[in-house]
Amino acid sequence: MNSKALTGLLLIIGPILMTIVIFGGFPGSGGNEDWVTSDYVAEIAANIQLHTIGTLIETTGIIAMMTGWIFLAYSMHGSGKPGSLLAKMAIILPLICLPIAVVSSGLSMAVAWAIEDDLMTEAGMLYGVSEGVAGTIFNVIGISWILLGIAMILQKNLHLILAIVVIVVGASLFLMNLVGGFLWIIGFLGFLILSLATGILTVIDKNTD
Protein backbone atom coordinates (compact mmCIF):
# COMPACT_ATOMS: atom_id res chain seq x y z
CA MET A 1 0.00 0.00 0.00
CA ASN A 2 1.47 3.37 -1.01
CA SER A 3 1.32 6.52 1.14
CA LYS A 4 -1.50 8.02 -0.94
CA ALA A 5 -3.73 4.98 -0.48
CA LEU A 6 -2.94 4.83 3.25
CA THR A 7 -3.75 8.53 3.67
CA GLY A 8 -7.09 8.10 1.93
CA LEU A 9 -7.91 4.95 3.90
CA LEU A 10 -7.23 6.65 7.23
CA LEU A 11 -9.40 9.63 6.28
CA ILE A 12 -12.21 7.28 5.29
CA ILE A 13 -12.04 4.93 8.28
CA GLY A 14 -11.77 7.69 10.90
CA PRO A 15 -15.09 9.45 10.22
CA ILE A 16 -16.89 6.12 9.86
CA LEU A 17 -15.74 4.99 13.32
CA MET A 18 -16.66 8.30 14.92
CA THR A 19 -20.09 8.25 13.25
CA ILE A 20 -20.69 4.77 14.66
CA VAL A 21 -20.06 6.10 18.17
CA ILE A 22 -22.18 9.24 17.70
CA PHE A 23 -25.23 7.52 16.20
CA GLY A 24 -24.74 4.04 17.68
CA GLY A 25 -26.33 4.85 21.03
CA PHE A 26 -23.12 4.62 23.03
CA PRO A 27 -23.38 6.06 26.58
CA GLY A 28 -22.12 9.64 26.98
CA SER A 29 -22.49 10.51 23.29
CA GLY A 30 -26.21 11.33 23.27
CA GLY A 31 -28.25 13.47 25.60
CA ASN A 32 -29.71 16.90 24.90
CA GLU A 33 -29.02 20.54 25.69
CA ASP A 34 -30.79 20.23 29.05
CA TRP A 35 -28.51 17.48 30.31
CA VAL A 36 -25.86 18.21 32.92
CA THR A 37 -22.77 16.21 33.80
CA SER A 38 -24.62 13.98 36.26
CA ASP A 39 -27.04 12.89 33.51
CA TYR A 40 -24.17 11.75 31.28
CA VAL A 41 -22.49 9.96 34.17
CA ALA A 42 -25.75 8.17 35.02
CA GLU A 43 -26.08 7.06 31.40
CA ILE A 44 -22.53 5.73 31.43
CA ALA A 45 -23.13 3.96 34.75
CA ALA A 46 -26.07 2.10 33.20
CA ASN A 47 -23.76 0.42 30.69
CA ILE A 48 -20.09 0.78 31.58
CA GLN A 49 -18.87 -1.89 29.17
CA LEU A 50 -20.55 -0.22 26.18
CA HIS A 51 -19.02 3.10 27.24
CA THR A 52 -15.56 1.52 27.29
CA ILE A 53 -16.05 0.04 23.82
CA GLY A 54 -17.34 3.35 22.47
CA THR A 55 -14.37 5.23 23.92
CA LEU A 56 -11.91 2.85 22.25
CA ILE A 57 -13.71 3.11 18.89
CA GLU A 58 -13.85 6.90 19.09
CA THR A 59 -10.16 7.10 20.01
CA THR A 60 -9.24 4.91 17.06
CA GLY A 61 -11.34 7.08 14.76
CA ILE A 62 -9.87 10.42 15.84
CA ILE A 63 -6.31 9.08 15.68
CA ALA A 64 -6.95 7.69 12.20
CA MET A 65 -8.36 11.02 10.98
CA MET A 66 -5.58 13.14 12.44
CA THR A 67 -2.91 10.79 11.13
CA GLY A 68 -4.51 10.96 7.69
CA TRP A 69 -4.46 14.77 7.73
CA ILE A 70 -0.83 14.72 8.88
CA PHE A 71 0.09 12.45 5.94
CA LEU A 72 -1.84 14.67 3.52
CA ALA A 73 -0.12 17.82 4.79
CA TYR A 74 3.24 16.04 4.62
CA SER A 75 2.65 15.17 0.96
CA MET A 76 2.22 18.89 0.28
CA HIS A 77 5.48 19.84 1.97
CA GLY A 78 8.59 20.11 -0.17
CA SER A 79 11.29 22.50 -1.28
CA GLY A 80 10.01 25.02 -3.82
CA LYS A 81 6.35 24.08 -3.45
CA PRO A 82 3.93 27.01 -2.97
CA GLY A 83 2.33 26.85 0.45
CA SER A 84 4.99 24.46 1.72
CA LEU A 85 5.52 26.41 4.95
CA LEU A 86 1.78 26.42 5.63
CA ALA A 87 1.66 22.68 5.02
CA LYS A 88 4.52 22.20 7.49
CA MET A 89 2.59 24.13 10.15
CA ALA A 90 -0.49 22.03 9.32
CA ILE A 91 1.59 18.94 10.16
CA ILE A 92 2.72 20.21 13.56
CA LEU A 93 -0.72 21.17 14.87
CA PRO A 94 -2.39 17.72 14.50
CA LEU A 95 0.72 16.19 16.09
CA ILE A 96 -0.03 18.34 19.12
CA CYS A 97 -3.62 17.05 19.10
CA LEU A 98 -2.73 13.35 19.14
CA PRO A 99 -1.54 13.26 22.78
CA ILE A 100 -4.46 15.51 23.77
CA ALA A 101 -6.87 12.97 22.24
CA VAL A 102 -5.17 10.12 24.11
CA VAL A 103 -5.37 12.01 27.41
CA SER A 104 -9.06 12.78 26.85
CA SER A 105 -9.76 9.11 26.12
CA GLY A 106 -7.85 8.05 29.23
CA LEU A 107 -9.95 10.40 31.35
CA SER A 108 -13.10 9.01 29.72
CA MET A 109 -11.99 5.49 30.64
CA ALA A 110 -11.29 6.70 34.17
CA VAL A 111 -14.94 7.78 34.43
CA ALA A 112 -15.97 4.12 34.14
CA TRP A 113 -13.42 3.04 36.74
CA ALA A 114 -14.62 5.71 39.18
CA ILE A 115 -18.22 4.58 38.71
CA GLU A 116 -17.22 0.97 39.39
CA ASP A 117 -15.72 2.15 42.69
CA ASP A 118 -18.96 4.05 43.45
CA LEU A 119 -17.17 7.41 43.24
CA MET A 120 -19.91 9.26 41.39
CA THR A 121 -18.75 12.78 42.28
CA GLU A 122 -15.24 11.99 41.07
CA ALA A 123 -16.69 10.40 37.94
CA GLY A 124 -18.53 13.64 37.17
CA MET A 125 -15.34 15.64 37.62
CA LEU A 126 -13.40 13.29 35.35
CA TYR A 127 -16.12 13.48 32.70
CA GLY A 128 -16.05 17.28 32.75
CA VAL A 129 -12.27 17.39 32.46
CA SER A 130 -12.35 14.85 29.62
CA GLU A 131 -14.85 16.93 27.66
CA GLY A 132 -12.88 20.12 28.31
CA VAL A 133 -9.64 18.55 27.11
CA ALA A 134 -11.36 17.12 24.02
CA GLY A 135 -12.76 20.55 23.17
CA THR A 136 -9.28 22.01 22.70
CA ILE A 137 -8.63 19.48 19.93
CA PHE A 138 -11.16 21.17 17.66
CA ASN A 139 -9.65 24.62 18.24
CA VAL A 140 -6.19 23.42 17.21
CA ILE A 141 -7.48 21.33 14.30
CA GLY A 142 -9.42 24.38 13.11
CA ILE A 143 -6.24 26.42 12.78
CA SER A 144 -4.55 23.50 11.01
CA TRP A 145 -7.40 23.21 8.49
CA ILE A 146 -7.31 26.93 7.69
CA LEU A 147 -3.58 26.71 6.94
CA LEU A 148 -3.96 23.47 5.00
CA GLY A 149 -6.85 24.85 2.94
CA ILE A 150 -4.78 27.86 1.94
CA ALA A 151 -1.89 25.54 1.02
CA MET A 152 -4.28 23.46 -1.11
CA ILE A 153 -5.32 26.59 -3.02
CA LEU A 154 -1.71 27.64 -3.59
CA GLN A 155 -0.67 24.16 -4.75
CA LYS A 156 -3.95 23.36 -6.54
CA ASN A 157 -4.19 20.07 -4.63
CA LEU A 158 -7.50 18.21 -4.90
CA HIS A 159 -10.40 20.54 -5.79
CA LEU A 160 -10.55 24.31 -5.27
CA ILE A 161 -14.06 24.14 -3.84
CA LEU A 162 -12.95 21.48 -1.35
CA ALA A 163 -10.03 23.66 -0.26
CA ILE A 164 -12.36 26.62 0.34
CA VAL A 165 -14.77 24.45 2.34
CA VAL A 166 -11.84 23.14 4.40
CA ILE A 167 -11.02 26.75 5.34
CA VAL A 168 -14.66 27.51 6.25
CA VAL A 169 -15.02 24.37 8.37
CA GLY A 170 -11.64 25.04 9.95
CA ALA A 171 -12.80 28.49 11.00
CA SER A 172 -16.01 26.95 12.40
CA LEU A 173 -13.99 24.37 14.37
CA PHE A 174 -11.86 27.11 15.86
CA LEU A 175 -14.81 29.31 16.82
CA MET A 176 -17.48 26.77 17.79
CA ASN A 177 -16.41 26.51 21.45
CA LEU A 178 -16.48 30.29 21.71
CA VAL A 179 -19.64 31.08 19.73
CA GLY A 180 -21.57 27.80 19.87
CA GLY A 181 -24.93 27.53 18.13
CA PHE A 182 -24.96 26.63 14.45
CA LEU A 183 -21.15 26.64 14.29
CA TRP A 184 -21.20 23.29 16.11
CA ILE A 185 -23.18 21.82 13.20
CA ILE A 186 -20.90 23.30 10.54
CA GLY A 187 -17.73 22.54 12.48
CA PHE A 188 -18.28 19.04 13.83
CA LEU A 189 -20.33 17.55 11.00
CA GLY A 190 -18.07 19.29 8.49
CA PHE A 191 -15.09 17.75 10.27
CA LEU A 192 -16.46 14.26 9.66
CA ILE A 193 -17.91 14.77 6.17
CA LEU A 194 -14.88 16.61 4.79
CA SER A 195 -12.46 14.06 6.21
CA LEU A 196 -14.41 11.32 4.44
CA ALA A 197 -14.66 13.31 1.18
CA THR A 198 -10.98 14.22 1.25
CA GLY A 199 -10.07 10.59 1.88
CA ILE A 200 -12.05 9.48 -1.18
CA LEU A 201 -10.61 12.27 -3.35
CA THR A 202 -7.08 11.51 -2.16
CA VAL A 203 -7.45 7.97 -3.44
CA ILE A 204 -9.01 8.80 -6.81
CA ASP A 205 -7.43 12.18 -7.70
CA LYS A 206 -4.35 11.80 -9.86
CA ASN A 207 -3.18 15.32 -9.04
CA THR A 208 -2.53 14.48 -5.41
CA ASP A 209 1.17 13.89 -4.73
Task: Check pLDDT > 80 for residue 101.
Answer: yes
pLDDT digits (tens, 9 = 90+) for 133-176: 888 888 888 898 898 888 888 877 667 888 888 899 999 988 88
- The structure's pTM equals 0.82
What are the Cα distances from residue 32, in Å, to 28, 40, 140? 11, 10, 26
Identify which has the larger pLDDT, 159 or 56.
Answer: 56
Average of per-residue pLDDT values in the chain: 84
d(CA 59, CA 61): 5
Q: What is the pLDDT of residue 53?
A: 92
